[in-house]
Amino acid sequence: MAMDEKHVEVVEHLICRTSDELLQSPAFRRVLLRFLRSLERRSSPLLAVMDPFRFPGAGAAEGQRETGGAYAGEGPGEETAVRSDGRLVVTATSGVPYDLDGFIQLLQLLVHKRAEDIRMAVPAFARRLPDTAVFHDFVEELYDFWRKHERFLILEANPRQANAEQHRQFIQLNEEFKAVVLETYRKISANLTGRLPQVYRQLPCGAGVGFLVGPVEWVVPGEHYRKLASIPFIQTTVIEPPLVYYPKRNFRRGSFEPLSANPLPRVRIEPSQWLCYPAWVGDLSIFIFFHKRYMALAASLSNLFELAAPGQVEGRKPDGILLFGVDPEVLPDNPTMYYEDPDTGVVVGLVARSDEVDYFGYFKKMTLTLHNVICIERGYLPVHGAMARILLRAGGEANVILVGDSGAGKSESLEAFRVLAGEYLRQLTVVFDDMGSLRLRPPAENGPASGRAGGSAGGETGGRVIAVGTEIGAFVRLDDLEPGFGYAEIDRSIFMNPHKTNARLVIPITRYDQVVEGVPVDMYLYANNYEPVDEEHPYLEAFTDVERALKVFSAGARMSKGTTDEEGLTHTYFANPFGAPQKREKHHVLARQYLERMLATGVVVGQLRTQLGVPGYGLRGPEAAARALFEFITRRAGATEPARR
């Protein structure tokens, strides 16, 4: 199967504990049909295994190859070939030219008996099992074909069972499913070859991701939202990394624009085709409803946003709602839109269903757009950037924010911090990797913030600016990481299109409590990725007045790195196309207030030249900038040390 050819298999409410149950399952029949179709397309000699199972008078294989060979039971009309009990209707007129029941019966026999024993005990199968070597190659390729699927297991939660016990059983069931697949494959292979393998490879072959789902009684904010009430919520996720997914697109295009009228009355929802990932995006509750077509992308949310527990969702009205995969006719002009509902106070995002949005960046950025719109309305300043708490071995510490749009060098600078940790750092804590918000801590509050940390800059006086994050993970470019990093973190990562430009991985990096703690800001720097460093343009340049800061930050200049459809030197208001330009007037008032407050309270406001967009400096630039930043923090700590004493 080519890397760009994607097959998805979702096993719902079904656990196969034996080989017979597995081979008789609707899921196995679907996979077998896809496999046969793939063999037909390339005229594989392995189809000789199926010749004894061909119905009399069925069309020749060549005819299937000429027409593309789309069997009934494959593709959008798949269910038309399946009876209500899940059994495939295998008649010559169904479009399937093979006796699949007979073939599956032979596989069941091969689980328990050697090929030669079957020939003697069941004469009817003697002619159907002529060449065990070719049959073994067929089984090997079928097994590999299954393993290349994006595999998902969905089970319904038992509301009467304790969470801890239910989680344990869910994990165990997932392990049992993997074990029965592996055992079935090994038994059939051994009975075909007549020998046991000398080397056993424990390859991933069960569900890559398991979802435990169930109903949740959340506060539906209005009549138009009632159609979402019966969609199951994900309560627990089990991931078997490493996972490698191949979405149809490898970059994001366009912008997220506001709607003037509520689109929900025009949205049609079939609850069986949808699930909800209830996310904590920072301290905001956003319910991410997604069509099962985007299962792999939605599963990757588990590495990016904290999954809310059922008890945190029950009886709660969400701050935001995202519907990912609505009918395209709902959004004919722009597939990515949002609506601020004045009647309910909920911000609703919508993404139209198509291959064009089959990219994780749409999930991530639309969710963060909702977060930012809500923050601006509450008087918080959204920040498109990365933040780290840095403790240096030579002395000194700082909480540093790097502001910049996609490809500016935020995540790459964090990676440079990690690479240099052994030489420079005592501790490095990532507060957020891509998006956060600035708030104000009241003067009397000295300890860590809790709950909804801080107030707005316009509503308090004399307090200190703090930052709250949004994500527990990162969605980063493989090309901008230290060579070998992806392999070092492979046991936790979800890879996306690793063979293409802008290859990405989604990886957890921070605990949720650290994300929402509310961290005082010591340095607020723009990530300048386009200017080379020289005597007049140092790595770190501090600003002394708010007008200079506003000019640089609001210009949002960066050299494009191919993460979007932009090219060359681009400009985005405050390096944040996710809510800031859409609410520019309110945002600009907040930006001035927060910059003035930071300059007045000793926060270093300036820019760090990462040179990420300068040819030849893709990895060296962020690392050199990180060294310059560490040296600045050390010097600053030395200058302030006597005052501390």
pLDDT in tens, 224-255: 999 999 999 999 999 988 899 999 998 888 88
Residue scoring higher pLDDT (119 or 638): 119
At 566 the pLDDT is 63
- At residue 565 the predicted structure's pLDDT band, cuts being 50, 70 and 90, is low
As a whole-number percent, the residues of the chain with pLDDT over 70 amount to 86
pLDDT value at 446 more than 60: no
- At residue 454 the predicted structure's pLDDT band, cuts being 50, 70 and 90, is low
Q: Which tens digit of pLDDT belongs to each residue from 358-402?
A: 999 999 999 999 999 999 999 999 999 999 999 999 889 999 999
Closest CA to 8 of 55, 62, 78, 71: 78
- CATH number of 381-472+509-644, picked from 3.40.1350, 3.10.620, 3.90.228, 2.40.30: 3.90.228
Q: Which tens digit of pLDDT belongs to each residue from 396-418?
A: 999 999 999 877 777 778 778 88
pLDDT value at 643 more than 50: no
198-202, 417-421, 540-544, 621-625: range with highest mean pLDDT: 540-544
> DSSP letter string over 144-198?
HHHHTSEEEEEEE--TTS-HHHHHHHHHHHHHHHHHHHHHHHHHHHHHHHTS--S
Residue range(s) in the chain whose domain bears CATH number 3.90.228: 381-472+509-644
Give the lowest-confidence range in 296-305, 408-417, 475-484.
Answer: 475-484
pLDDT value at 43 more than 50: yes
Q: Which tens digit of pLDDT belongs to each residue from 166-188?
A: 899 999 988 999 999 999 999 99
Residue scoring higher pLDDT (219 or 2): 219
> DSSP letter string over 563-618?
SBS--SEEE-GGG-TTTTTTTHHHHHHHHHHHHHHHHHTT-EEEEEE--TTSTT-T
Amino acid identity at 267 = V
Q: Which tens digit of pLDDT belongs to each residue from 350-360?
A: 999 999 999 99
Residue scoring higher pLDDT (147 or 481): 147
**Strand, helix or coil for residue 34:** helix
In whole angstroms, what is the distance from residue 327 CA to residue 331 CA? 8
- At residue 164 the predicted structure's pLDDT band, cuts being 50, 70 and 90, is confident
Contacts of 422 (CB under 8 A, 6+ apart): none
At 116 the pLDDT is 93
Residue scoring higher pLDDT (94 or 396): 396
- At residue 81 the predicted structure's pLDDT band, cuts being 50, 70 and 90, is very low
At 462 the pLDDT is 57
At 80 the pLDDT is 32
pLDDT value at 3 more than 50: no
126-135, 473-482, 523-532: range with highest mean pLDDT: 523-532
Amino acid identity at 130 = P
At 629 the pLDDT is 94
Mean pLDDT along residues 585-598 = 97
pTM: 0.87
At 572 the pLDDT is 93
- At residue 642 the predicted structure's pLDDT band, cuts being 50, 70 and 90, is very low
At 204 the pLDDT is 87
Q: Report residue 281: phi and psi, to 5°.
A: -105, 95
Contacts of 317 (CB under 8 A, 6+ apart): 218, 219, 221, 344, 346
**Tokens 């409803």 identify what position?**
289
* Rg, Å, the chain Cα set: 28
At 305 the pLDDT is 97
Structure tokens given for 548: 């200079």
Structure tokens given for 336: 């990515």
At 28 the pLDDT is 95
Q: What is the mean pLDDT of the chain?
A: 86
Mean pLDDT along residues 410-431 = 85
Residues 381, 382, 384, 387, Cα dihedral to 10° = 80
Mean pLDDT along residues 515-528 = 96
Reported as half-sphere exposure (CB side, CA atoms, 13 A), residue 219 has a value of: 14
In whole angstroms, what is the distance from residue 280 CA to residue 285 CA? 5
- The answer to whether the beta carbons of residues 281 and 371 sit under 8 Å apart is yes
